[in-house]
Amino acid sequence: MSTPPSKVIKLDALVIGGGVTGLWTLDRLVAAGHDTALVEQDALGQGQTICAQGILHGGTKYSLSGLLAPGARQVAEMPDRWKEHLEGANAPDLGQVRVRSEACHLWRTDSMKSIISMAGAKVALQVKPEPLQKHERPAVLAGCPGDVARLPELVLEMPSLLETLAALHPGRIIRGRVESGTPTDGEHHRSAVTVALGEEKMLISARYVILCGGTGNEDLLRMFSPDSLPVAMQRRPLHMAMVKGADDALPELNGHCVDGAKTRVTITSSTASDGERVWQLGGELSEIGCGRGEDEQRAAARACLRATLPGFDVDDDRLKWGTYRIDRAEQDKHPARKRKSRPDDVTITKAGGLVIVWPTKMVLAPRAARQVSHLFEPGTGAGAPPFPDQSPPPIAKPPWETATWH
């Protein structure tokens, strides 16, 4: 026999999922006067957010590869918006977030087309690449035969973004497992959501339930809307590669190699808990890499860096190589199509009192959160935090802390 709930909590809104989208949405709903809490099943950011490379994209990468769709105009305005938060001029105040780099580099290994003439061809970009003279290039890019440019796109340390957002709302974020939930129409029928906190169970009665669970939204949708799913979800898998080493074997580098019509590789730097530097290797390498096994992907990563960073010693035996797999979760706008493409913008669906959110990019999370809060009339006040005695879930461990290195 299942344990009956020991506590009943009444809320305006319950956010499910503590990645960047859920945490930012919680903040905006509280600011709009809604009594809101967030439940996370694991560690904060455990899905995509902790793996994100942390780049506040402004659309240039897509413009360079000729892929900039009309919806990417929204991306173009995001870096300025984030700056206001990072400077503490706008809520949520992200003044405590660690900015890893003030800029990325863009480079080509061919010299066919100029980076500068390609960028901005399709949209008025707020962040534009600035060409670098040979002597201005970082040493690791000195051997590139093609253009090298500096792109003023910030790179954030993802754990510190999660820590900062979570610290804004003590007593509103709990770690628990959502066991069941009834549908809600948001007006007259509240949802009764059962949440298990270890042995204890709690019944949360909420007018609105906001699904921010990333890939977890698929199961949550079936739970909250079993009869007619309001939207379908798609996964776009990645097989990320990583390389780790001491600072003198692995220099700081953040940026994209944009040969041809593709981002061949996106490299971002982080520091592991043992003090060594780690590069995450995304872009085309990680997309095509889905069809490769781990050994093959490590070999492909070496080959890719050998080709895209001619001056970098990939054979330095102080370097260790690792990989991990992760799915990006988005709304499937065309379920009948086999080939899945990224939606242009955030996708938000409201079905009665159920709201389903996918931001498509970390940089768009503030836009998603604002749109969710605009779905409702302002509340009458968020009130006291509903869980004053509960500590929040921990922050997820970055993938390089749990990887196997070879």
Per the listing, tokens 């754990």 go with 159
Two tokens, residue 87: 């400077």
CB of 373 to ligand FAD, least distance (A): 16
Q: Is 233 in the site for ligand FAD (CB under 6 A)?
A: no
Q: What is the DSSP letter of 398?
A: P
The residue within the footprint of ligand FAD, chosen from 9, 20, 94, 140 (CB under 6 A), is: 20
| Contacts of ligand FAD in 335-364 (CB under 6 A) | 359-363
DSSP assignments along 308-363, one per residue: H-TTS-TT-TT-EEEEEEEEEEEE-S-TT-SS----SS-EEEEETTEEEEE-SSGG
Say how far apart CA 372 and CA 353 lie, in whole Å: 12
Using omega within 30 degrees of 0 as the cis cutoff, is the peptide bond preceding 251 cis?
no
Q: Does 392 bind ligand FAD (CB under 6 A)?
A: no
In the list 14, 26, 52, 356, the residue contacting ligand FAD (rule: CB under 6 A) is 52
Our finding on whether 92 is near ligand FAD (CB under 6 A) is no
Q: Out of 21, 65, 347, 371, point to the residue binding ligand FAD (CB under 6 A).
A: 21
Residue 115 or 369 having the CB closest to ligand FAD: 369
| Three-state secondary structure call for residue 53 | coil
Which of 11, 13, 39, 86 contacts ligand FAD by CB under 6 A? 39
**Which one of 104, 166, 278, 326 is in contact with ligand FAD (CB under 6 A)?**
326
The residue with tokens 């085309």 is 284
Number of residues that bind ligand FAD (CB under 6 A): 38
Within 10 A of 96 (CB to CB), how many other CB atoms are there? 14
Question: Which 164-193 positions form the footprint of ligand FAD (CB under 6 A)?
Answer: 178
- Of 125 and 362, which CB lies nearer to ligand FAD in the complex structure? 362
Indicate whether 37 belongs to the interface with ligand FAD (CB under 6 A): no
Based on the number of CB atoms within 10 Å of its own CB, is 275 exposed (0-12), middle (13-18) or buried (19 or more)? exposed
Applying CB under 6 A, which of residues 9, 13, 14, 18 lies at the interface with ligand FAD? 18
Nearest to 368 by CA among 376, 357, 379: 357
Q: Report, in Å, the least distance between residue 53 CB and ligand FAD.
A: 4
CA distance 288 to 290: 5
Residues whose CB falls within 8 Å of the CB of residue 311, separated by 6 or more in sequence, listed in order: 139, 140, 141, 142, 143, 144
**Among 44-52, 61-69, 102-110, 337-345, the segment contacting ligand FAD (CB under 6 A):** 44-52
Q: Could you give the CA distance from residue 111 to residue 290 in angstroms, rounded to a whole number?
A: 29
The footprint of ligand FAD on residues 254-283 (CB under 6 A) is: 282
Least CB distance from residue 162 to ligand FAD, whole Å? 9
**Measured from the CB of residue 108, what is the shortest distance to ligand FAD in angstroms?**
20
Pick one of 51, 204, 278, 372: the residue that binds ligand FAD (CB under 6 A): 51
Interface residues toward ligand FAD, by CB under 6 A: 16-22, 39-42, 45-49, 51-55, 57, 178, 212-214, 216, 220, 238, 240, 282, 326, 328, 359-363
